[in-house]
Amino acid sequence: SMKEHVRYLSSSMMEGRAAGSEGEVLAADYVAEQFKRYGVDLLSPKGGDVFGVRRENGDTLTSRNVMGYVQGYDKELRDHFIVVGARLDNLGTMIMSVNGEPQQKIFYGANGNASGLAVMLELARMVQMNSILFRRSVLFVAFGASNETFAGSWYFAERAFAGIDQVDAMINLDMLGTGYKGFYAYTSSNADMNSILRTLTGEPYPSDHRTFYAKDIPSVMFSTGRYPEHNTEKDIEAIISYDMMERELEYIYNFTLALANYNGAISFRPENEVDQKVK
């Protein structure tokens, strides 16, 4: 299933999924279809939850988030949420001169971030299948226009989701396809989040979890880190290690379950902040 997701989302038809492009729309539709296929409740309307991004030249870029939902079973905690997010967009296309001739180059984004979307979709399937085990509810969000100053996550946290005060933690999935080089959990929060990571076993770059951290929500990014093909036309499916992605998915599922069932509040304590990368 993860092969199917990555192949489709990084296909030439998507033209690199640039924010606001038809490729991003197709990717959003695909994520929504997979949520419905897996029995995950779709919270966003057809075409995604659309928002605008004002650019420096005065134009408005139109992007969208796609949101899925699995309700927890605990009457006291099911109105509290764990958000699992993954970047929907990539760099799109660019016209470059090759031997004096203009050629279109596609930034396919197989690892950045079709891999993270694939893991999120399969995680949503697993959580839905085992929803009776989850005390808190889990929200799955494909964030549009992440490359545009993380606009999708900002829109979700500041405008779109009325229950943001009930979000207890955020898990961000970004670049998970090259696990043979390492698998990292970067937590930009506090001792509580770090302790949960350790019971199960420098940040690659800023991503959508920072939006939640800015709102005092404990957050963590799972990633396999930077790689030579990052932000190039060579970021294609051939570099993806699916065996490692399966192992990562199992770990992230267990971590999500532990967060959803964590007793008491997952507190945000800036005075105990530990910015670290756990391998």
pLDDT of 215 above 90: no
What is the rounded CA–CA span in Å between residue 153 and residue 26?
Answer: 19
pLDDT of 190 above 80: no
Q: Which two tokens stand for residue 245?
A: 């992605």
Paired with 21 in beta bridges are none
pLDDT of 279 above 80: no
86 or 266, greater pLDDT: 86
Query: Greatest CA span in the chain, whole angstroms?
Result: 66
What's the pLDDT tens digit per position in 66-87? 999 999 999 999 999 999 999 9
Which range among 4-18, 54-68, 218-232 has the greatest average pLDDT? 4-18
Classify residue 112 by its DSSP letter.
I
Non-local (6+) Cβ contacts of 176 within 8 A are: 111, 115, 116, 118, 119, 183, 222, 223, 224, 245, 248
* pLDDT for res 195: 64
Q: Which two tokens stand for residue 15?
A: 């033209």
Q: Specify the pTM.
A: 0.90
pLDDT of 135 above 90: yes
* pLDDT for res 277: 47
Tell the burial category of 177 from Cβ atoms under 10 Å away from its Cβ (0-12, 13-18, 19+): buried
pLDDT of 60 above 60: yes
* pLDDT for res 210: 73
Over the chain, what is the mean pLDDT? 90
* pLDDT for res 201: 52
pLDDT of 5 above 90: yes
3-class DSSP state for residue 42? strand
pLDDT of 189 above 90: no
What is the rounded CA–CA span in Å between residue 107 and residue 89?
Answer: 11
- Give the range among 23-32, 205-214, 221-230, 260-269 with minimum mean pLDDT: 205-214
Angle (nearest 5°) at CA 207 between 156 and 56: 75
* pLDDT for res 140: 98
Torsion angle (degrees, nearest 10) of CA 240, 109, 22, 44: 70
3-class DSSP state for residue 6? helix
* pLDDT for res 212: 84
When pLDDT is averaged across residues 242-256 and rounded to a whole number, the result is 97
What is the rounded CA–CA span in Å between residue 249 and residue 180?
Answer: 14
Give start and end residues of each alpha helix (H) in the chain: 2-9, 22-37, 115-129, 151-155, 191-199, 209-213, 242-260
